[in-house]
Structure 1
Amino acid sequence: MPVIVFSIPSIKSPLNIRSLQAVIVAFSVLLLIHPAEASNPQFGECISRMKDQARSEGISDKTIQQVLGKARYLPRVIELDRRQPEFTQTFANYFGTRISEERIQRGRELLTRHRELLRQIERESGIPAQFLVSFWGLETNYGGFFGDFRITDSLATLACDPRRSGYFTQELLNAMRIVDAGDIAAERMIGSWAGAMGHMQFMPSTFLRYARDIDGDGRRDLWGSIPDAMGSAANFLRQLGWVPGLNWGQEVRLPSSFDYSLAGRDQMMSYAEWQRLGVAAISGASLGPAEQKAALLVPSGHQGPAFLVTQNFHVIMRWNRSEFYALSVGHLADRIAGAARLHRMPPVETIKISREQVRQLQRDLLALGIDAGEADGVLGSATRKAISRFQQRTQRIADGHLDAALLVAIREAANGVMQQMVE
C-alpha cells in the first residue's frame, strides 16, 4: 500500500483538535471514495480504464459506480488462481468425497420436495429431474455453499491481472450487465473466487445466455429462486445438446481378455459392437439399442469399474471438462433415482503422484518417441493414451492407468534411451 503522509498539528488547543479531526475525516473519505486507487495504484488505473470501457459498451453510470466505484483488490483471489493442487487426484478419491450416502439421501428428499416443479421442467426441456438435482448437489451441496466472495470484486481483481485479463474483463462486464438488468443487486452477487454464481455456479456469460425467469417475478434469480436455478440449468443442458430419452451411460462388465486400448472418450462404437467384444451390462440385460454409440472409460484402470458413456456424458463434460466430474454427476443422478451403488468400486490408491512427477513422465514418454502432449503436469486424455502405448510396447495391460510402479518403469526406460544417445 502507498504511504500517505499528513502533517499532524499540535493537539493542545481545541482548534487543533478540530484540525486533527478534519484530517482524519478527509483521509476516511479518500479511502471510501477511491478504495482501489488508495490500496493499489495499478489496480486503480485498471479500474479507471474499465469504467471507460463499461460506458462505451452501454452500461449505466449507476451500475458502474455501484460495481467499479466500490471495487476492491483481493490478493486471495490471485493466490487461488495461481495455486494448483500439488498432487494428481485419483478417481477413488474424487468419487469418494462427492458420492456420499448423506448427499444421496438429501438429493432424494429434494427430488420429492420439488417433484412438481422438476417434472414440469423435465416435460418442457427433456432433462430428467434427477440430473438437475445431481448437478445441484455437486455444484453447491444443494445450495449449502455458494462461495463467499463478492463476484464483482473477484472478477475485477482477475480482469486487472495480466494472466487471463481478456476473459475476466468480459466476465466482469457481463456481471455488470446482470446488475444493470435488475436481476440482482451487486452486493448480493456472491459466489466463488473465479466468478461462478448461484445454486448452479453459472459464470456471468452463462447467466446472460441461459438463465431464465421461471417463477415469473421479472428477475432471473439464481441465488434465491430454486425454480429459476433449476429451469436455467435445464435450459443450459438442452442448449449444450442434451438428447432427451438418452441416459448418460452405465457401468459394465468386461471380459478377462479385453483389449483396454479400446478405452477412451474419443473411441465411440455401437452397443452391438461392444457386445460382440464381450462387454455386458451389470444387470445381465441388453446394453441398449444396438445402434446406440458409446465410449468405454476405465477411470481406475483394469482393477476398477468400467463405464460405457453416451453423447449425454459428453454434454455433461461441456458443463465441466472433467471425466471424474461427469461420472460423478451421472452416478449421483442414478442413485438419487433409486439405483444401487457401483458393482465394482474404484480401488483405493494411497500413493500420491505429484504434478512435477507427471511433467517428468510426459517428458520421458516423449524421449521414448511417444507423444503425451504438452508437459503441463496434467494427467489428461493425451497422457493416458501415451501411457497406454507404452504399456502395449512392454506387454502390460494397456489401460492407460498410472501407478507408482509404472512411473518408475517409464523413467528407467527413458534413462536407458538417453544413456544410449550419450554413448
Structure 2
Amino acid sequence: MHHSLWIALFFALLLAGCQSAPSQQVSANEHQPDEVEPVESANVSPNSVGGETGRSQASDAPASFETWLAEYRRHAAAQGISEATLTSALDGVRYRPRVLELDRSQPEFVRPIWQYLDTAVSQTRVGEGRARLDEHRDTALRMQERYGVPAEIVVAIWGIESNYGGNFGDFSTLEALATLAFDGRRRDFARGELLAALRIIEAGDIEPQRMIGSWAGAMGHTQFIPSSFESYAVDGDDDGRRDIWKSIPDVMASTANYLAQAGWRPGEPWGVEVSLPSGFDYAQTELNTRYASHEWAAQGVRPIAGGRLPDFDQASVIAPAGAQGPAFLVGPNYRAILRYNNATSYALAVGTLAERIAGREGIRSAWPRDEQPLSRSQVRELQQALN
C-alpha cells in the first residue's frame, strides 16, 4: 500500500480511537468518555433500592437470576464475606434490564474529540471548578502537599467524572454489578467487582443503600470501581471510613492517591500544546514513541505559547485529530491520567480543564470541525485494512 494511504488510514483510526474505552485492569472507573454528559440514571432513590421502579423491573428478570444470585452468595461466603453482610447487601437485589441495555449499546458514529471537549471543558464547568476549588481550597492544598498532585487536576477529574458530584448516577452498585455478572458482556470482571463491593461493605466504609453510582459499577464523586476503591481509596477526614459518596476530603485524597500510585511526578506538568515543523513525520505521534524534550526540540517541536518545552525525560507527541488539529507534547503525568481512564480524549480533557480552572490558557489551535465522524463499521474496515 502506498505510504501516504497508510498515513491517512492511521490518522483516521487515531481520530476514531480517541474515544477508546478505559482499561479494565487499571482504570479507576469503567466510563466511556462520552459519559461526561449526565450519567444514565435508574430513576430510583439511593435509599429505596426496593422501590416501585425496582419492582417493575424485577418482573422482567429471568427466573434463573435468583438461582444465580443464590449460587453467587455461596461463592461470596466461601471467600470470607459474613452472613450479616450478605444479608444486608444481597437480600432484595434485583435484576436491572436497563443495565444490560446500556452495556450492549454503542452509538452508530464515533464522537469527534472536539465535540467531547466542548462539553468536558465548557465555560460552565470551568467556572464551577474554580468555585469548588475555592470552596475546598484548604482540603485541596492539603492533599496536594500530601500526594504531590496539583489541586486543579483532582478538581478537574471530579468535574469530568460526576460534574462535581452533581450526578454520579443512582444505580445501586450491587444491583448493577449483579446484573452484569449474571448476563453482561464481561461477566467474570463484574463477578470480581461485585465481590470487591461486598468487601467494601464488610469493612464498614459504606452501607449497601448508599453504595450508588453508574450502570457500570463506578461509584461516588470520582467514579471508582470497587476494586480501585479497595486499592486506592483513602480516609481523608480521619473518621475511620473511606466515603467517596459524601466526604470531599475522602474524595480528594482518594483521587490524588490514585494518580500518585499511577506514577504522577510532582512538579511536572501533564503536557503542553506545541507547534510542529513543516515536514514533521506524523507517524511519530503516538504514545509509544518517546524521546526527551531536548530531542523533540531538535526536531523543531516548540511550545505554541513560546518559551522552552517542559523538561521531560520521556515525552510523546500526540495529534488526536491528525495534521489538521492541535498537537501536544505529553509526559509521564499524562500517562498517569490515562491510568485513571485510558482514553486520549479523557486525559486531554482533564489536563485542559485543570489548566482553565487554574486560570491558565486552554487549547489555542483550531480543531478540524468540518471533518465528518466515522461510523463504527468504517472504523472496523480501516482496522482490517491495517492488519
Please classify the TM superposition score into its range, dividing by the shorter chain length: 0.7 to 0.9
CA distance in 1, matches of 2:331, 2:181: 37
Q: What TM-score, normalized to structure 2?
A: 0.83
CA apart distance, 1:39: 4.5
Distance 1:39 1:135 in 2: 36
Which secondary structure does the structure 2 equivalent of 1:308 belong to? strand
Q: 1:283 aligns with which of 294, 305, 315?
A: 305
Aligned ranges for residues 47-86 of structure 1 at < 5 Å?
47-86=69-108
Provide the residue aligned with 2:16 in structure 1. Answer: none
Question: How large is the Cα RMSD of the aligned pairs?
Answer: 1.9
Q: State the distance in 2 between where 1:162 and 1:206 align.
A: 20
Q: TM-score, length-normalised on structure 1?
A: 0.76
Q: What is the letter of the counterpart of residue 340 of structure 2?
A: W
Partner Cα separation in structure 1 for residue 94 and residue 261 of structure 2: 35
Runs of 4+ in 1 over 2 A off after TM superposition: 35-40
Q: Report the residue type matching 1:219 in the other structure.
A: R
User: Match of 1:202, SS?
Assistant: coil
* Match of residue 161, structure 1, among 183, 190, 193: 183
Matched letter for residue 343 of structure 1: R
The Cα of 1:361 is off from its aligned counterpart by 2.2
What letter corresponds to residue 334 of structure 1 in structure 2?
A: E
Among 116, 120, 139, which residue is 1:117 paired with? Answer: 139
Partner in structure 2 of residue 323 of structure 1: 344
Q: Deviations over 1:5-42 (max 9, x none)?
A: xxxxxxxxxxxxxxxxxxxxxxxxxxx99x97994321
- Per-residue CA deviations over 1:356-407 (Å, capped at 9, x if unaligned) read 12112223x2xxxx42xxxxxxxxxxxxxxxxxxxxxxxxxxxxxxxxxxxx
Is 1:354 the counterpart of 2:375 in the alignment? yes
Please point out which of 363, 374, 381 is paired with 1:342.
Answer: 363
Q: Deviations over 1:307-353 (max 9, x none)?
A: 00001111111110101110111111111111112110312135232
Q: State which structure, 1 or 2, has the greater radius of gyration over its C-alpha atoms.
A: 1
CA 328–79 in structure 1, closer or farther in 2 if over 3 Å, else same: same
User: Matched residues in 2 for 1:74 and 1:288: separation?
Assistant: 49
Counterpart-to-counterpart distance in 2, 1:223 and 1:59: 23
The equivalent of 1:398 in structure 2 is none
User: Which range is displaced more, 120-129 or 341-350?
Assistant: 341-350
CA-CA distance at 1:293 after TM superposition: 2.3
Decide which of 213, 230, 240 is 2:235's aligned counterpart: 213
Asked if 1 retains the 8 angstrom alpha-carbon contact of 2:103 and 2:185, the reply is: no
Q: Deviations over 1:194-252 (max 9, x none)?
A: 10000010001111111111112211110010000100111111111111111110001
Q: How high is the sequence identity, in percent, across the aligned residues? A: 46
- How many angstroms does 1:136 deviate by? 0.3
Matching of residues 358-377 of structure 1 within 5 Å = 358-363=379-384, 365=385, 370-371=386-387
Counterpart contact for 2:149–2:259, Cα < 8 Å = yes
Residue 148 of structure 1: CA displacement? 1.8
- C-alpha separation between the residues in 2 aligned to 1:147 and 1:111? 22
Q: Structure 1 residue 194 and structure 2 residue 216: aligned?
A: yes
Paired residue total: 333
Distance 1:162 1:39, change over 3 A: closer
d(CA) in 2 for partners of 1:304, 1:222: 37
Unaligned 5+ segments in structure 1 are 1-31, 372-423
